[in-house]
Amino acid sequence: MSRDANDLPAVCFLLGLPRSGTTLLSHLLQQHPDIVAPPEPWLMLALEAFGRVDHRHPAGASLIQDATSEFLGRIDRTIVSRAFADAAYGQYLAAAGKRTFVDKTPRYWMVLDFLDSLYPEAPHILLLRNPYAVAASLKSTWGIPLVPESWPPASLSDLSDLVLSLPPDITSSLADLVLGLPALAAHRRRRQTRVVRYEHLVAYPDEEIRRVIAGLGYDPTGIASATMQQPEYLRSSRFGDRKIFERKAVDDRSVYTWQTELSIQEMQAITDAIGDELLIELGYEQELRHVQQAGIVD
């Protein structure tokens, strides 16, 4: 069964590590009358994992996975997953009276290939933020410890090693930096990916938001200015950055707070986990020089 492209929902994926400012960016984007960006759907993660259930499921986790894999193996699973996603996004858009759905889910770095298989032409907005600032926010907001013994070796390439050695909440956060950041860095080369830097977004919010909206094919004057309207839609959700309720305006005060929030030992741990080559590749050489001057060693 084929469908007219005009009947398909317009979907954009907003990518970025947790604590990188994705809630702020999505909140500013959806002030445009044609855009809706609800709190973190996590839909693509659920679809990619379809058939995999908790081992305590009474029907038997292995039986469910084997049966669904066998059944879906006889058809095109990509078409089925796309149809489900289109139906979900489409209904949400219709209810909101909007034209473009921005799916902001930070841990989509885990399923980038799956996103491309379902929506190969969809625009992606990639929000990058100084990794030291991301780590400092993980520490101050979620209490994630940033001490050397908590970090995996720089050569780590297997997520399962993290899962076996650390508590789940710490595992996820460290995986974001150790595995997610390189995955997102490589994703910059995707043709339909537009990169936004957090530091530039908070310094020049009007300019950046209008640039992103124009890239989505809309008139950027649809937003008069990037103002901090109260995100009431977030109050009923457990997802999204709660700190956004404290913001009265978009400003760049958060850009340099990491320099006082992180100890030298924590700066060292972050540098060891990410690697100076990736920091430089992403344009954070100045931040790397700062921590080197503070006393870390290569």
pLDDT digits (tens, 9 = 90+) for 226-261: 777 767 788 888 888 878 877 878 889 899 999 999
Average pLDDT for residues 129-144, to the nearest whole number? 94
pLDDT surpassing 80 at residue 101: yes
Average pLDDT for residues 272-280, to the nearest whole number? 94
Average pLDDT for residues 178-199, to the nearest whole number? 96
Average pLDDT for residues 105-128, to the nearest whole number? 97
pLDDT surpassing 50 at residue 160: no
Six token digits for residue 21: 């400012």
Neighbours of 239 (CB within 10 A): 15
Averaged confidence pLDDT in the chain: 89
Name the band, by pLDDT with cuts 50, 70 and 90, for residue 221: confident
Q: What is the pLDDT of residue 249?
A: 83
Neighbours of 266 (CB within 10 A): 23
Inter-residue contact 68 to 184 (CB < 8 Å): no
Query: Taking phi first (over 0 means left), then psi (-120 to 50 degrees means alpha), and beta for anything else, what does residue 289 get?
Result: alpha
pLDDT surpassing 90 at residue 164: no
Stated length of the chain: 298
In 115-130, which positions are buried (b, 16+ CB within 10 angstroms) versus exposed (e)? bbebbeeebbbbbbbb
Q: What is the pLDDT of residue 38?
A: 93
Average pLDDT for residues 84-98, to the nearest whole number? 97
For the whole model, what pTM was predicted? 0.89
Of 88, 110, 126, nearest in space to 8 by CA:
88
* % of the chain exceeding 90 in pLDDT: 72
Average pLDDT for residues 50-57, to the nearest whole number? 95
* % of the chain exceeding 70 in pLDDT: 89
Collapsed DSSP state (helix, strand, coil) of residue 193: strand
Q: Which is it for strands 35-36 and 193-197: parallel, antiparallel or unpaired?
A: unpaired
Average pLDDT for residues 134-143, to the nearest whole number? 93
All structural domains of the chain: 5-294 (3.40.50.300)
Six token digits for residue 167: 């508590």
Sign of the Cα torsion 231, 236, 239, 241 reads positive
Q: What is the pLDDT of residue 159?
A: 46
pLDDT surpassing 60 at residue 163: no
Inter-residue contact 102 to 30 (CB < 8 Å): yes
